[in-house]
C-alpha cells in the first residue's frame, strides 16, 4: 500500500514537475548552443533532473516552452488548451493522472501569456482532479495563495515554480506512487509538445525546432519510466502510442559541431561547448503533430 502523501505532494506533482523552469525566457537564434559547466551552476535551466525509483530522468520545462513559443512570435491561442470540464468526466487512475499533467502544462502556457482568468480556472481544475486521485489534502495553501496573488509577475511565477519543483522532487523520493507520477509527467510532456507543434509557423523558428528535436531523448525516458512503473498493465495503450511516436521522431536529424572547451582560470571553471542544429522536414513535423493530437484526443475522450 502506498505511503501517505506529504502536504505538498499534489502541488509538487501538478505544478512542480510541470513548471520546473526557474529562469527567464530563452534567447532566439539560428542554432542551439549549450555550455555545460564543470562547476555547480544555479542559473536558469531548460530541464530539471528527477529521481524516480532510483533513476534520473530529465524533463523539459513547460514554462520555458511557453516562453519559447511566445518568443517565436506564435500567437496565444486559449483554444489549444484542454477543456476544463473534461477532468470532471474522466474516471480511472491513468486518465486522471494524465489530465492532471495536461492541465499543469496548460497552466504554464496561459500564465506566461498573462491570461490570469484562465490560469485560475485551470488551477481549480487541477485541485478537483487531485481530489479524485485522493490527493485532497496535498495542497500547500500558502504556496497556492502566493501563486494566485502573483499571476501577473513572470519572475514570481518562476520562483514559485522552483519551490514547487523541490517539493515534487522530495515527494518522488519519499512516496511510492511512481505510476501516478510517471503518468502526470507524460500528460504534461504531451501537452507541451501539442502547444508547440499545433501552429504551423513553428517550423519557421529554429529555436522551436531545436526544442522539438530535443524531445526524442525525453520521450525515450518517458517510455522507460512508464514501462517500469506500470505494474498492472493499465498504461499498455498509452505505451503503444508513445512507441509509435518514437518511430516518427526518427525522422528528425541533427548536425553537431564540437568547439574547443573554454577555461576560466580565475573561476577555476571549464566550459564544454557544443553547437547543434535540428532539421525537421515539414512532413515529419506534420506526422508528429497528428500523432500527438491523436494521443491527446484519447486522453480527453
pLDDT at res. 10: 40
Cα separation, 229 vs 180, in Å, equals 9
pLDDT of 190 above 70: yes
Residue pair 67/25 in contact by the 8 Å Cβ criterion: yes
pTM of the predicted structure, to 2 decimals:
0.76
Assign 32 a pLDDT band (cuts: 50, 70, 90). Answer: very low
Would you state the cell numbers that stand for residue 209, as one nine-digit string? 525546432
Report, as an integer, the average pLDDT of 4-13.
38
pLDDT at res. 36: 29
Which of 121, 23, 103, 122 is closest to 63 using CA atoms? 23
CA distances from 252 to 218, 219, 225 (A): 14, 13, 23
The tens digit of pLDDT for each residue in 122-147 reads: 888 887 887 777 664 444 566 667 76
- Residue ranges of E strands in 170-294: 253-258, 262-264, 269-279
pLDDT at res. 50: 59
pLDDT at res. 285: 92
Those residues whose C-beta lies under 8 Å from the C-beta of residue 232, and which sit 6 or more positions away, are none
Helix (H/G/I), strand (E/B), else coil: 104: helix
Those residues whose C-beta lies under 8 Å from the C-beta of residue 288, and which sit 6 or more positions away, are 193, 197, 212, 245, 248, 249, 280
Chain-wide mean pLDDT for the chain? 75
Would you state the cell numbers that stand for residue 105, as one nine-digit string? 502544462
Report, as an integer, the average pLDDT of 243-254.
94
Cα separation, 178 vs 168, in Å, equals 12
Amino acid at each position: 500500500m502506498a505511503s501517505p502523501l506529504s502536504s505538498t505532494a499534489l502541488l509538487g506533482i501538478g505544478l512542480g514537475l510541470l513548471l520546473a523552469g526557474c529562469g527567464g525566457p530563452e534567447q532566439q537564434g539560428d542554432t542551439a548552443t549549450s555550455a555545460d559547466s564543470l562547476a555547480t551552476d544555479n542559473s536558469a535551466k531548460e530541464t530539471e533532473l528527477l529521481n524516480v525509483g532510483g533513476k534520473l530522468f530529465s524533463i523539459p520545462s513547460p514554462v520555458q516552452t511557453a516562453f519559447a513559443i511566445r518568443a517565436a512570435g506564435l500567437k496565444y491561442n486559449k483554444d489549444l488548451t484542454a477543456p476544463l470540464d473534461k477532468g470532471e468526466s474522466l474516471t480511472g487512475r491513468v486518465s486522471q493522472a494524465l489530465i492532471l499533467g495536461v492541465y499543469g502544462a496548460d497552466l504554464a502556457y496561459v500564465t506566461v501569456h498573462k491570461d490570469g482568468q484562465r490560469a485560475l480556472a485551470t488551477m481549480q481544475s487541477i485541485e478537483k482532479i487531485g481530489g479524485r486521485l485522493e490527493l485532497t489534502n496535498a495542497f500547500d495553501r500558502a504556496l497556492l495563495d502566493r501563486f494566485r496573488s502573483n499571476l501577473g509577475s513572470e519572475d514570481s511565477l518562476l520562483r514559485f515554480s522552483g519551490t514547487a519543483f523541490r517539493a515534487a522532487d522530495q515527494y518522488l523520493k519519499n512516496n511510492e506512487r511512481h505510476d501516478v507520477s510517471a503518468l502526470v509527467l507524460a500528460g504534461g510532456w504531451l501537452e507541451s509538445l501539442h502547444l508547440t507543434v499545433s501552429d504551423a509557423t513553428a517550423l519557421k523558428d529554429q529555436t522551436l525546432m531545436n526544442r522539438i528535436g530535443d524531445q526524442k531523448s525525453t520521450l525515450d525516458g518517458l517510455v522507460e519510466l512508464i514501462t517500469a512503473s506500470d505494474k498492472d498493465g493499465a498504461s499498455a495503450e498509452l505505451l503503444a502510442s508513445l512507441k509509435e511516436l518514437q518511430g516518427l521522431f526518427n525522422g528528425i536529424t541533427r548536425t553537431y559541431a564540437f568547439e574547443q572547451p573554454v577555461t576560466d582560470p580565475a573561476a577555476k571553471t571549464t566550459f564544454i561547448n557544443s553547437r547543434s542544429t535540428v532539421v525537421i522536414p515539414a512532413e515529419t513535423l506534420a506526422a508528429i503533430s497528428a500523432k500527438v493530437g491523436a494521443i491527446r484526443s484519447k486522453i480527453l475522450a
